[in-house]
Amino acid sequence: MSEQEKLPQSSTPDGAAGSPGDRRRFLKTAVGSAIAAGTGIAGGALAATAPLQHSEVRHWDGETDLLIMGSGIGGIAAAIEARRQGMSALVLEKFNVLGGSSALSGGVCYMGGGTPLQKALGFEDSTQAMHDFMVAASGVYAPKEKIAVYCDGSLDHFDWLVENGVKYAQRFSAEKELSHKAASLYYCGCEKSYPFRNIAHPAPRGHVPPAENQTGGRELMTFLIAAARRLGADIRTEVDVERLVMESDGSVAGLRVMENGRTLHIRARKGVVLAAGGFVHNSEMMASYAPDLNRCRPRWGHAGHLGQGILMGMSVGGRTRIMDHGFSVLPLYPPEDVLKGVVVNGQGQRCITEDTYYGVMGHEILVHQKGRGYLIVDAACDYPALDYRVVIAARDDTIAGLAAKLHLPPGVLEETVAYYNKYAAQGQDPLFGKAPPFLAPLQKGPYSAYDLSPEKAFYAVQTFGGLETNVDGEVINAWGEAIPGLYAAGRTSAGIPVSPYYASGLSIGDGSFFGRRVAKHAARRKA
């Protein structure tokens, strides 16, 4: 059953259920009945996050304009922008360390269109090229309205980050992955891979604060948390957010929280922002909504990615989107030499260009090939030593012998490698368009096959599905209407990132960009 099918549905045609207030009251009753029955969208988990009514709250223990759940990039960006818009902001963090998964990440923000850093390092880019690439790479799941807004605001977003203390070094890295050597600009996705290099002019759009050993997320969040505090945002740790508090008309009034063993009710004059991450560490939700991702390890993300913010939004009628999507990163490189090999499916046939971004590679094997595939290399492009990311499945002095050990259909792998070798020797790849630097005939034994199944290989996973929001971050209900005063940002929302994940920095970019828009919209609301 899809998440849409699990939501309460109106029995009348669009517009026939009365006013938005009538529909919200109906939805509240329907969801409440599902909770009482012990069923509902996520069973007991949803019941545990059921909202309170304002009438059940005897008094408010505090109040603020914008009340934010979570201190990752979405929440902190919302807090900064709230203060810049003249609102008070209160950030509530469940743990004793701030920053969420954003602080654990590489800190890459996907930006383009000709940022000052791109220009300083001699790269040309345009908003149109950035937009065309993102839409093409997102495929049928492209959130086109959000992508358009995001690309149009990319240059302003770069300036906003710098204005809030984020520093970038004028240093480019030609590596296919995030630099270990403190470079701040690189090609962070499949912009140069076929077919995308023919759709839009490639440009490096991965912007990251300079940091050794890929710790840019820590640097990024250090800058932004400091900016939020400098602007006067109230940031509290070890506060467990439990339930939304709702008005009788279906709008959001505030939150019930637990702090130091005390139950408190905090009023939100302008709105509540759910920015508590995804659900990658919630086993029940993973099994229910993202069974493909559930096969993979490790689960990448902060321990707080338990889906609580998503469930809170669902409990008041919030609609969800792309709940089965996420990144399934299969990092075959570095070293980049292994990409001169071929990736084949369970039938011994090539299935993808090997030089693509590792988020696209993981999705191809996990979803399209049902979790079965192999990386075939020869002695010239093999890993130099045992590697934790892959497990060897077979090794032999001939391709035929390798195929036999893998129990592949007779003759298929031999034909695959022969065809590849013929054109690789000419610097061509008619089948998948692999770039010439990664083309070389496989002809030096022994040959090795590495098992790319999720049970054997390293697949870092995170969820992208969450609450459906509009371009201002308002949570959308079953009738396609915004729930007044309720916002979501970061991985609690279903934003720009979709499967397959085609570039690093989309999640950080999405969270920070739309976190800002949440605060701007809330500032326009009547308290």
Full domain range(s) for residue 341: 331-451
DSSP 113-124: SS-HHHHHTT--
- What is the spatial distance between Cα 266 and Cα 62, in angstroms, rounded to a whole number? 5
Residue 422: partners with Cβ closer than 8 Å, 6 or more residues away: none
Q: Answer positive or negative: Cα dihedral of 71, 74, 80, 85.
A: negative
Instruction: Answer yes or no: do 85 and 186 share one domain.
Output: no
DSSP codes joined into one string, 316-379: TTB-EE-TT-EEEE----SSGGGGGSEEEETTS-B-S-TTS-HHHHHHIIIIITTT-EEEEE-T
Tell me the whole-structure pTM to 2 decimals.
0.91
Model confidence pLDDT, tens digit, residues 106-143: 999 999 999 999 999 999 999 999 999 999 999 999 99
> What pLDDT, on the 0 to 100 scale, is given for residue 6?
32
Q: Are residues 225 and 373 in the same domain?
A: no
For residues 157-175, average pLDDT: 97
Burial tier of 16 (Cβ tally within 10 Å: 0-12, 13-18, 19+): exposed
Confidence at residue 451, expressed as pLDDT on a 0 to 100 scale = 98
The candidate with the shortest Cα–Cα distance to 317, out of 52, 25, 519, is 25
Within-domain flag for 1 = no
The number of domains in the chain is 3
- Does one domain contain both 391 and 285? no
What is the average pLDDT across 235-258?
97
Say if 353 falls within a structural domain.
yes
- Say if residue 447 is in the same domain as residue 339: yes
Distance CA 294, CA 366 (A): 11
| pLDDT on residue 263 | 97
Residue 11 included in any domain? no
For residue 41, how many C-alpha atoms fall within 13 Å in the half-sphere facing its CB? 32
As a whole number of angstroms, the distance between CA 510 and CA 150 comes to 8
Whether residue 502 is found in the same domain as residue 391: no
| Residue 5 maps to a domain | no
Average pLDDT, the chain: 92
Strands 262-274 and 62-69: parallel
Looking at the structure, tell me whether residues 268 and 306 fall in a common domain.
Answer: yes
Whether residues 254 and 208 share a domain: the answer is no
pLDDT of amino acid 182: 85
Same domain, 154 and 189: yes
* Residue 49 pLDDT level (bands cut at 50, 70, 90): confident
Domain contains 8: no
pLDDT band at 178 (very low <50, low <70, confident <90, very high): confident
User: Which of 214, 240, 260 is a domain's end point?
Assistant: 214
**Based on the domain organization, do 355 and 445 belong to the same domain?**
yes
Q: Domain check: are 408 and 351 in the same one?
A: yes
